[in-house]
Structure 1
Amino acid sequence: MLPQEIIRRKRDGETLSAASITDFVNAISSGAITDGQVAAFAMAVFFNGMKRDEAVALTLAMRDSGDVLDWSDLPGPVVDKHSTGGVGDNVSLMLAPLAVACGAYVPMISGRGLGHTGGTLDKMDSIPGYISQPDNALFRKVVRDVGCAIIGQTANLAPADKRFYSIRDVTATVESIPLITASILSKKLSAGLNALVLDVKSGNGAFMAKSRDAVALATSIVEVANGAGLPTTALLTDMNEPLAQAAGNAVEVKNAVDFLTGDRRDVRLESVTLALVAEMLLSAKIVPNQKAALEKTREALNSGKAAEVFGRMVAALGGPTNFVEKADQYLPEAPVKLEVRAPQTGYVSTIDTRAIGIAVVALGGGRTRPQDTVDHAVGITALQPIGARMEKGEPIALVHARTKSDAVGAAIAIEKAYEFADNKPRTANPILRRIGT
């Protein structure tokens, strides 16, 4: 196998055989090819795409680059959810314990931040002591004992995707439907799921900003997943504003704890989270219909069962045993805080959500190179939503930064990202469409 020949053929728009794709993926895992060759292949796919059979082959090859877990010994259904990425999207932190409290098992293998979007794994790494990349034995034990474990890819789970993912992040090849499809599904297939639910974002803060592109991505993932033997459905959700009022790592964890305990629940975040959990319960055949699914999910949230599950998961993976009760004491805090004030009176009419995500990355809350470390303390909170009535000078956000100059730079970016109008804009339902069987 000559990697340059495979790259050339895809560069020229040819259809690759499953054998060629498998050889290339094996070389990614073994280190037989360079980062430059991986990036060149990614760019060739970015411009020329892949046919469905190629995408299935890429997905299965990356799955088979490592272990594939077997949960047949568990007494209940094994389900998971994946988001294509957004800003202020901490849904996974509430969704996993909610689904467990409703009778499912959730072995959630998550990724780090990609481009301007936050990563679930980076959020969990802000919890002191939390082992986000355990070995398979600990992973299995926590899922069996607690019901869920939110972790990253271990060395033995889809290792080819782990390397490919980090290179895509810094080579402008993120927004490729077949590469996103294969990356998501290789991890989920290696997790040994019975069913999968997707949260595919659309809007100015999503990788697929246009609705038609988001539908194409959702359709691709659903079809490839079902073709690979994993029952999958998708919800198309709105990302034209941050989903939570917080964007960052530790600040999103605190937001999730507040959500689970009932101290604060952002309206759009609650709608999306409950809808996705309900879809998981339906896919797992735990409930007969959507009404029953939503009722069961809301009861698990309001009763405190989900918060209790989250606390047990954190403790089982090395975090503080009283994290839910004392999150403020454990999460890192940035030394500089700066309010961003409304430049005029009016209603928040639009938000450049991607710019908010980029501001978090610039603060140090994301990466510009695969080897970069993330500052878990920095971020943005108190983000005002579309439709909020603001008086000139009122705070529209609070920046958490490492230095004063970083805070000022983020504040300028946030102020530019907000637009105001005299009349209150219509607010859209964040659940746009369901795709699947």
Structure 2
Amino acid sequence: MRMVDIIQQKRDGGRLTREQLYFAVQGFTKGDIPDYQMSAFAMAVFFRGMDAAEIADLTMAMVNSGDVVSLAGIRGTKVDKHSTGGVGDKTSLIVVPLVAAAGVPVAKMSGRGLGHTGGTVDKLESIPGFHIELENEQFVRNVNEHKMALVGQSGNLAPADKKLYALRDVTATVNSLPLIASSIMSKKIAAGADAIVLDVKVGSGAFLKSMAEAEELAATMVSIGSSLKRKTIAVLSDMSEPLGTEVGNANEVREAIAVLKGEGDARLTELCLNLGAHMAVAGGVYADYAAAYGALNGLLASGEALRTFRTFIEAQGGEGGIVDDPGLLPQARYQVKVRAEQEGFVQAIDAESVGVAAMLLGAGRARKEDAIDYAAGVSLLKKTGDAVRYGDVLAVIHSNSENNQESIGRLVAAYVIGADRPAPVPIVHKVIG
């Protein structure tokens, strides 16, 4: 078997077999197939696409390129959740303890942030003392005892995906639906979950800007999961503005605590209950979505979800007192008010601009090696639909630097203010699977 023949077959619109895809992925991972041939393969897939069976086979080839996590020691149906990424997306901090409080075991591996979107690992590491690395035995014990544990992704989890993504990033082949879907699902399958709930973001702050693209990706990932005997559900959620009111690591932990206290942003709370209800049904704890949604709402009201969050933090070495006193989280030296320069209604907030503003403050990374400032971030005091007068505070910058002009400029530009109040946009657009 030769890689050049595989490239030519896909270039000409042919269908690749499981054996051909395993040959390509394993050879590339080992270094036997050079970057230039894998780049040509990615471009052929970009233009010619793949059918459902090919995408499933490519996904499993990437799963088997490295470690596959065994969760056999954890009792019950293990449910994982994945977001395609957005600005202010702290849903994992809320949903995981919420469904754990309902009795659903969640053994989750999460990543760090890069660019204008944040990472769950960075947010948790803003909690004093929190350990994101656990030995496998402790990881399993925590899930069995507390129904949840969350660690950073293994360095050898789907290594073919990491190598292939690096090539896609520099060969203009990132926006290939088969390659996106297999990338996401290979990591989820390798992480060992029995069921997967996908939060597919769509809008200005998301990787996917159009509803048609998001629906196609969601349907493809659900098809992959189903073909590999994993119960898979995709929720298409709105990212036309930042999610919630806080962007930045410690900021988002504070907002997660507010939601778990039943005091958080309404749209963020609704999305978390929606995702959590699907996870609870997939985990077999509730028979239907309506019953699960109502029960999870009750766990917020009773404080049980917040108590579970505290137990989780302390089980991983963190300061559980932050749930009572969020002031124990890192605090920025400067708070800078960003004021409105006209009157009217907030018609839109460009999520990507807000994310970049926060990244420039130190809340995110432009490069993988950049250090994070856990205290840096943005608080959005005005959201879409709110009335604004000249001079009103739109947002507050939290920074440890006195020079924040670029972030201020981006935040002012992010707000679109006009004469008419816009119609509300639902937080959940569609559920697939």
Per-residue CA deviation, residues 362-387 of structure 1 (Å, 9 max, x unaligned), is: 33333333333333332211342110
- Superposition deviation, residue 182 in structure 1: 1.7
Per-residue CA deviation, residues 156-183 of structure 1 (Å, 9 max, x unaligned), is: 4333334555666677654432232122
Per the alignment, residue 431 of structure 1 pairs with 428
1:342–1:391 Cα contact (<8 Å) kept: yes
Per the alignment, residue 315 of structure 1 pairs with 314
Per the alignment, residue 306 of structure 1 pairs with 305
1:135–1:154 Cα contact (<8 Å) kept: no
Structure 2 counterparts to residues 286-305 of structure 1, below 5 A:
286-305=285-304
Per the alignment, residue 355 of structure 2 pairs with 357
Q: Distance in 2 between matches of 1:400 and 1:39?
A: 42
Q: Paired residue for 1:389, among 383, 387, 408?
A: 387
Q: Distance in 1 between matches of 2:369 and 2:16?
A: 31
Structure 2 counterparts to residues 305-384 of structure 1, below 5 A:
305-329=304-328, 331-384=329-382
Per-residue CA deviation, residues 275-302 of structure 1 (Å, 9 max, x unaligned), is: 1111112222321222211111011112
Per-residue CA deviation, residues 1-36 of structure 1 (Å, 9 max, x unaligned), is: 877776676667654443343344335544667778
1:134–1:154 Cα contact (<8 Å) kept: no
Q: Measured at CA, do residues 35 and 273 of structure 1 come closer, stay the same or move farther in structure 2, by a change above 3 Å?
A: farther
1:109–1:187 Cα contact (<8 Å) kept: no
SS of residue in 2 equivalent to 1:243:
coil
Q: Distance in 1 between matches of 2:144 and 2:38?
A: 37
SS of residue in 1 equivalent to 2:296:
helix
One-letter amino acid matched to 1:152: G
Per the alignment, residue 142 of structure 1 pairs with 142
Q: TM-score, normalised by structure 1?
A: 0.89
One-letter amino acid matched to 1:276: L
2:115–2:367 Cα contact (<8 Å) kept: no
Q: Distance in 2 between matches of 1:315 and 1:173?
A: 42
One-letter amino acid matched to 2:429: L
SS of residue in 1 equivalent to 2:321:
coil
1:348–1:420 Cα contact (<8 Å) kept: yes
Deviates further, 390-399 or 8-17: 8-17
Matched, 1:420 2:413: no
Unmatched segments (≥5 aa) in structure 2: none
- Superposition deviation, residue 130 in structure 1: 2.3
SS of residue in 2 equivalent to 1:87:
coil
2:56–2:228 Cα contact (<8 Å) kept: yes
One-letter amino acid matched to 2:332: A
1:345–1:391 Cα contact (<8 Å) kept: yes
- Superposition deviation, residue 220 in structure 1: 0.6
Per the alignment, residue 153 of structure 2 pairs with 153
Structure 2 counterparts to residues 30-429 of structure 1, below 5 A:
30=30, 42=42, 45-164=45-164, 173-262=173-262, 264-329=263-328, 331-405=329-403, 407-429=404-426
SS of residue in 1 equivalent to 2:295:
helix
2:249–2:363 Cα contact (<8 Å) kept: yes
- Superposition deviation, residue 335 in structure 1: 2.8
Deviates further, 418-427 or 176-185: 176-185
Q: Measured at CA, do residues 132 and 39 of structure 1 come closer, stay the same or move farther in structure 2, by a change above 3 Å?
A: farther
SS of residue in 2 equivalent to 1:204:
coil
- Superposition deviation, residue 73 in structure 1: 4.2
Q: Measured at CA, do residues 127 and 396 of structure 1 come closer, stay the same or move farther in structure 2, by a change above 3 Å?
A: same
Q: Distance in 2 between matches of 1:80 and 1:11?
A: 36
SS of residue in 1 equivalent to 2:323:
coil
One-letter amino acid matched to 1:286: V
Structure 2 counterparts to residues 7-18 of structure 1, below 5 A:
15-18=15-18
Q: Distance in 1 between matches of 2:287 and 2:132?
A: 34
Let me know the Cα RMSD of the aligned residues.
2.7
Per-residue CA deviation, residues 241-287 of structure 1 (Å, 9 max, x unaligned), is: 1111111222111211222133x301110110001111112222321
One-letter amino acid matched to 1:265: G
One-letter amino acid matched to 2:423: R
Q: Distance in 2 between matches of 1:383 and 1:30?
A: 51
2:114–2:367 Cα contact (<8 Å) kept: no
Q: Measured at CA, do residues 369 and 148 of structure 1 come closer, stay the same or move farther in structure 2, by a change above 3 Å?
A: same
- Superposition deviation, residue 208 in structure 1: 1.2
1:39–1:168 Cα contact (<8 Å) kept: yes
Per-residue CA deviation, residues 69-120 of structure 1 (Å, 9 max, x unaligned), is: 3434444321122111111111011000100111100111222225432222
1:201–1:236 Cα contact (<8 Å) kept: yes
1:133–1:153 Cα contact (<8 Å) kept: no
- Superposition deviation, residue 150 in structure 1: 2.1
Q: Distance in 2 between matches of 1:311 and 1:318?
A: 11
Give me the identity figure in percent: 42
Q: Distance in 2 between matches of 1:96 and 1:169?
A: 31
SS of residue in 2 equivalent to 1:155:
coil
